[in-house]
Amino acid sequence: MENLRKDYSHIKGWGIDADPENDPTYPMKPHRTDAEQSGYSWERPTQQPVDVEVLHSIERPNVSAVFGTAVPPSGLSGVIRRFAFKYSENSYLHWLPLILADRVNVVEGIIDDFKTGHVPNIFAEKGYNAEWKHDKIGLITKFAVAAALVAGVVVLLNKKDKDDYDGDDD
> Can you tell me the distance from the alpha carbon of 162 to that of 145, in angstroms, rounded to the nearest whole number?
26
Q: What is the pLDDT, as a whole number, of residue 4?
A: 60
- Give the global pTM: 0.57
Alpha-carbon separation of residue 135 from 20, 76, 146 (angstroms): 52, 34, 17
Q: What is the pLDDT, as a whole number, of residue 36?
A: 56
Q: Could you list the pLDDT tens digit for every one of the 170 residues in the chain?
A: 555 667 777 877 777 666 666 666 655 665 656 655 565 566 778 888 888 888 888 887 788 888 887 788 899 999 999 999 999 988 899 999 999 999 999 999 999 999 999 998 888 888 999 999 999 999 999 999 999 999 999 999 888 766 666 555 55
Strands (E), 7-108: none
> Can you tell me the distance from the alpha carbon of 130 to that of 98, in angstroms, rounded to the nearest whole number?
27
